[in-house]
Amino acid sequence: MSSSPNVAVVGATGAVGVEFLQCLEERNFPMSELRLLASARSKGKKMKFKGTDIVIQELTPESFKGIDIALFSAGGSISRELCPVAAKAGAIAVDNSSAFRMDPNVPLVIPEINPDAIAKHKGIIANPNCSTIIAITPLWPIHKKNRIKRLIASTYQAASGAGAAAMEELRASTEAYIKGETYKNTVLPHPYAFNLFSHNSKIDPANGYNEEEMKMVKETRKIFGDNDIRISATCVRVPVLRAHCEALTIECERPITPKDVHEILGDAPGVKIVDDPVKNYFPMPKDASGQGDILVGRIRQDISDPFGHSITMFVAGDQLLKGAALNAVQIAEKLV
């Protein structure tokens, strides 16, 4: 890999694509060329990068000639079709969709957890689901010190997880609600303003869990390299524009205290403790939005566990950044 690679952003005009550009610029990612790729309807439009206008090109199978790293965020069907094409052309595809996450031949990577897995790639590297990244980035340092046997997660997921159209639907429906006007939702299956509902991914009739919940189960096991960890998740959409929150309860092999967790996470990469019981100040979407750390607070003993092996906490992370674009760019940084 060149120290100044040619980079393509696939899905450049989408919510995550915009964040790709911002991350690449803010982190001064070394590049010889930046190629912006999107659908035919965006061809010829321009996006700014470091003060320069870059013309968007139409995404085709021929788009990857001369590209070293391709950052994908254009949906699973496009990834399934074109990630192998990009890899065959000599690029390394870092894919933000779910298309390859559970493929045993594709590394599923959070750089703070399993950077060594990157070296095992065969042209494609998968970016985990946003809810998984936000939950387990702060859990990994604990797991290394005192193995986590069980995880129970409840998510509070922002509109950003469903893309720019969902964010706009939340804005528009909230405005209509306040004005007393009727609004017909078209992006999400239920009214979004002043409402919350179970994550809108498909439910498996065999176990009652939806796809988002099962992603957290399967991806955590793969990334941790631990198929025995017991996990249950409940994923919910809430009327927040950006940044997911999650309530996490973990059970460890040995006794663990809130003080232990504070000490373990105090200097953990990608994590910031926000835990002030006196002021009742804990992780919130407004503080998580626009920055890369996972905020961790409400760190307390799980009083339902009489053996002292369990901790409950609350976390918040920017779904578009560490939950998507930033994690992928961090992977790309490891490749250079």
Active site residues per annotation: 130, 244
- How far is it, in rounded angstroms, from Cα 158 to Cα 316? 11
The Cβ-side half-sphere exposure at 190, using a 13 Å CA radius, reads: 14
**Closest residue by Cα to residue 113 from 128, 98, 95:** 128
- Map residue 332 onto helix, strand or coil: helix
The partner residues of 68 in beta bridges, in order of sequence, read none
- How far is it, in rounded angstroms, from Cα 115 to Cα 118? 6
The bridge status of strand 310-317 relative to strand 69-72 is unpaired
**Closest residue by Cα to residue 108 from 219, 257, 202, 230:** 219
Structure tokens at 71: 């950052």
Q: Which residue pairs from 80-89 have beta carbons closer than 8 angstroms and sit at least 24 positions apart in sequence?
A: 82/10, 83/123, 83/124, 84/123, 84/124, 85/61, 86/8, 86/123, 87/122, 87/123, 87/124, 88/123, 89/64, 89/65
